[in-house]
Amino acid sequence: MRLFGSRKPMVGVIAVCLLAAVMPSCRAESAAHIAKHARKMEKKLAKYREGTYLHLVFRDGAESLGSLGAVEVGSFTFTDADTNATHTYRYMDVARVEKGEEYIGEGSVRRHHIPLLIPAIVAGGAAAAVAAVLALR
């Protein structure tokens, strides 16, 4: 009595499993591509002045908010807004740079308020209309 049938399908399954284990699971990037990306990030960061508040997204998916420090040839310093710690990062580790908004602490998101000028103009227009109606009587 055979439990698994013939051995040929089992050999194929084992071969596929071994190939899957040996092949890299993430995409390979050439050294030229990484160097080009690093130069691009260096040019982007060179546009900002020291102390500019930025939002960094790293190649591993992590994000950081803080202020830009010294921009050097192979790396730059960055002060994290949450921990106030200074870190040195390489340009090749950064995926994206965006100018950040002011960050004071948790819950300090910008809220959109109706400017006070609009209600003042509406109230002034209504008062002028009432005055014009009363004057015509």
pLDDT at 69: 92
The letter for the amino acid at 12 is: G
| pLDDT band at 40; cut points 50, 70, 90 | very high
pLDDT at residue 118 tops 90 = no
* pLDDT single digits (tens) 46-59: 999 998 899 999 99
CATH assignment of 29-136? Answer: 2.30.30.100
pLDDT at residue 1 tops 50 = no
pTM of the model: 0.53
Complete edge-to-edge strand list for the sheet that includes strand 75-80: 86-90, 75-80, 63-71, 53-58, 94-99
* pLDDT single digits (tens) 86-116: 999 999 999 999 987 765 555 555 555 667 7
* pLDDT single digits (tens) 12-26: 667 665 555 555 555
Arithmetic mean of pLDDT over the chain: 79
In the block, tokens 């990037």 appear at 29
In the block, tokens 């420090």 appear at 69
In the block, tokens 């002028």 appear at 128
pLDDT at 81: 87
Ordered by start, the domain boundaries in the chain are 29-136
